[in-house]
Amino acid sequence: MAIASPSTPSFSASICCTRTDSTPARSLRFPPIQTRLQSRQFTLSCRSSVPSSNESDGDLQYEIQHGVSTDHRRRGSLVFVTLPLDALNFPVGTMKRKKAMVQSFRALAAAGVEGVVMEVWWGLVESELPRVYNWEGYLEIVVLAKHCGLKVRAEMAFHQCGTGPDDPFWIPLPQWVREEIDKDPDLAYSDRFGRRNMEYISIGCDVLPVLHGRSPIQAYTEFMRSFRDTFIPFFGGVITGIQVGMGPAGELRYPSFPSQKTARTLRSRELGEFQCHDKYMLASLNACAGDIGMREWANGGPIGAGSLMQNPEGSEFFKSDGSWNSPYGEFFLAWYSGMLLLHGERICREAESIFRGLEVNLSGKVAGIHWHYRTESHPSELTAGYYNTSIRDGLLPIARLFGRYGFSMCCTCFEMQDAEAQQMNPDSSPESFVKQLSLAARLCDIPLQGENCASSLDDGSFEQVLRMSRFNWNGPGTPTFSFNFVRMDKNLFEYRNWVSFTRFVRQMSDAKFFRPNLGFGDGDMPFLSLSASSTAGVVLA
């Protein structure tokens, strides 16, 4: 049976208040960065180092099984492939389609893929009763990966998957958690219209004993500790990465956009809704407003934030000269984003303590929210909890947070291009968002992991990933960028798609493909021509 974490902090109603736990004090305030990245130029030089001559057991096993050297995978950027959402049977938790999974793993290993990304669902492992964990299916996957010479990145998924029982990929929060939410609906996020979101527990009650005497942070902590204790023989050799979920879709953000709408939202004008109207978030807001003597600012989210689909310029809060840039707007957005950073701080601290001393890389995920990036206020980023505007860098505080705990930073939309996105929404700029995030990672000296937001298998999408990945290349022997391809399905293994994918994996592994010096200017990055070589199809066992 898991033991409650002794370092979980006691509850404070406001992020402005002094913390009272026994953990060494760290500043939880992040001063605003008054800089406009678009108007400045940065030139970053890469450094190189001599790669280690020590070979891991996993590499040796790969070479023995496939008769090829894996040295090429060390020189460039590593590629992982995310497993299907229905890799395990819900709710029993056993592996589905075992023969097909074996064939797929062998094909990925033969193609030079470094490993697989395994989403570890809270609602599947600790489904019926608190502190009762079922790791059976995930043990099967890890053992299979080991036999095929693949590494594993495990994502601690504390959020809901899918839209509901009719969704074939639906994995809800644990049943006992949903029962507690039924008793106290304020455990779920709420917007100004009273609409509840069940994707993730409200961070307003992070450290309150609302889950059978445990806080959500304690529940997440004990889950991760049980995972560590169960999979301890596989760390380092097979399990090389742990990504810790911090919100909807595993991302450190508010559910301002329901996840099932994300694909459509990426190409829309939706502003999003502030998620601060449950009683726990309102208690924190009230305490913060009281601390500065402005009780009138404690009544919920901003007035005049417009409707979801409204043009930002028609909104009193989000328009260019709107109240987002007023004293009230600065107070509210600092509190709203600060609560999110505090949530990330708590989870990072617990995860770093649990996995300390193991040969595993920790990471957190940031949402690629870019569809109002070219406006002054960046409304869709603000409602998601990123205080990132044309005059304030809101991504650097997140990078600093991850850097303090030795976390890598993961982000989606690496395959998206401005020209395509702006056909649907002129204000969108996925490339600018990724470049700003890449710069924040470089300034904080943390590795970056890229992801695609849609299963695009065309050459243009792969070329865009290669192009954006150059912002994070640090020279042979010291890769600071890796890529998670989302996700493995039958389309991936169709001949034409497989040829494109294997060529992409080979190009990512080739250090010669990347330039040693990268400039961050107003223009686009110089783009090297891709190799024209083709790849033969693979024969599945």
- Alpha-carbon gap, residue 424 to 268, rounded angstroms: 7
Is residue 260 scored above 80 in pLDDT? no
The total of other beta-carbon atoms located within 10 Å of residue 444's CB is 17
* Residue range 178-193, pLDDT digits in tens: 999 999 999 999 999 9
φ, ψ of residue 410 to 5 degrees: the values are -110, 145
CA 437 to chain centre: 12
Distance CA 124, CA 188 (A): 19
What's the pTM?
0.82
The per-residue pLDDT of the chain, averaged, comes to 82
Q: Residue 272: exposed, middle, or buried by beta-carbon count in 10 A (0-12, 13-18, 19+)?
A: buried
Mean pLDDT (whole number) for 55-74: 38
Residue 40 DSSP SS3: coil
pLDDT at 126: 98
Residues in the chain: 541
Give per-residue pLDDT as tens, 355-389. 999 999 999 999 999 999 999 999 999 999 999 99
Strands (DSSP E) contained in 3-128 are 42-45, 78-82, 115-121
Within 287-438, strands assigned E span 361-366, 407-411
| pLDDT tens-digit readout, 472-531 | 665 554 547 999 999 999 999 999 999 999 999 999 988 655 544 344 444 433 322 222
Q: Yes or no: say if 399 and 410 are a contact pair by the CB < 8 Å rule.
A: no
Of all residues in the chain, the percent with pLDDT exceeding 70 is 77
Closest CA to 305 of 197, 391, 189, 191: 191
Local confidence band at 167 (pLDDT 50, 70, 90 cut-offs): confident
Span 237-242, average pLDDT: 97
Decide if pLDDT at 9 tops 80: no
Q: What is the pLDDT of residue 299?
A: 86
Assess whether pLDDT exceeds 60 at residue 537.
no
CATH topology of domain 78-185+212-262+344-514: TIM Barrel (3.20.20)
Name which residue leads in pLDDT, 1 or 152.
152
Token reading at 245: 């979920």
Enzyme catalytic residues: 251, 451
Region 463-469: mean pLDDT is 93
